[in-house]
Amino acid sequence: MTHPQPEVLTSSEGMEKPMTFLVDHLTSRIGSEIRSDMETLLSGRHARAIRDLLEHRGVVVKADYLQGTVEWHFDGFSDDVPTFVSMLSARALSATGGQTEFANAYAAFDELPDSDKARLTKLRVVHTMAANQRNVHPNPSAAHRAAWAQFPEKTHPLVWNHRSGRKSLLLGASASHIVDMDPSEGRRLLDRLIAWATQPRFVYQHAWSLGDLVMWDNTGLLHRVQPYPADSGRLMHRVTLVGEEAIA
């Protein structure tokens, strides 16, 4: 696939030292790479531009083994106000696997047929930790169940109406069942929507290099990690920004 040419968002006007801030869109619908020097990134002059990129592109890249993260999910399903931005930086890498994938849930909703949009905006979904872990522990012990019970179940709309006016599909492994729908029918619908939202045209896969910093809009994307050996030594540093918007 041919990516668009890098775009210069700002210039060095009025500066003694040139400030480089180049943006390259990695796919047509999701993921942009910023190429810049550290002084420019830390200056704060591009905070608005970076935030705009997060809103419109979803993923922005700056140059113990967690089970369950290999499933598509968003962070903070049990919170009324989920994390706004999540950031990961690579400190040690696995020789195999470990790539992180991101799916644009805004674009996935926008490209649904109108008949689906009308139906889905009326539905509500129950999210639980048990559902989040069902593929990792298909036969959970009492200890597993007790640990999962510490996370309260939450009921959220299937479609998040953001205050910006945009809408996104609120899906993921934590989605247990659809309220007032036959469980089997609801499961089929949720599985169909996950398959739709995570098809290649909505997904960006990041292959990590040491020192990479990736941040993404947790409110409008799903993410997952590709499986890697538990003893690989893979080490990622994580930072999150407090949420700003309640799910509605």
Query: Domains in the chain, please, with CATH?
Result: 1-63 (no CATH), 66-241 (3.60.130.10)
| Percent of the chain's residues with pLDDT above 90 | 65
Which of 47, 91, 112 shows the shortest CA–CA distance to 232? 91
Residue 172 has pLDDT above 80, yes or no: yes
CA distances from 106 to 34, 97, 140, 220 (A): 21, 27, 34, 6
Query: For residues 210 and 28, what is the distance between their CA atoms, to the nearest angstrom?
Result: 26
pLDDT confidence band for 12 (50 / 70 / 90): very low
Which tokens is 7 given? Answer: 């775009």
17-28 confidence digits (pLDDT tens): 445 678 889 899
- With a threshold of 0.85, does the pTM exceed it? no
Which of 64, 61, 69 shows the shortest CA–CA distance to 234? 64
Cα 38 → chain centroid? 25
Give the count of beta carbons closer than 10 Å to the beta carbon of residue 193: 22
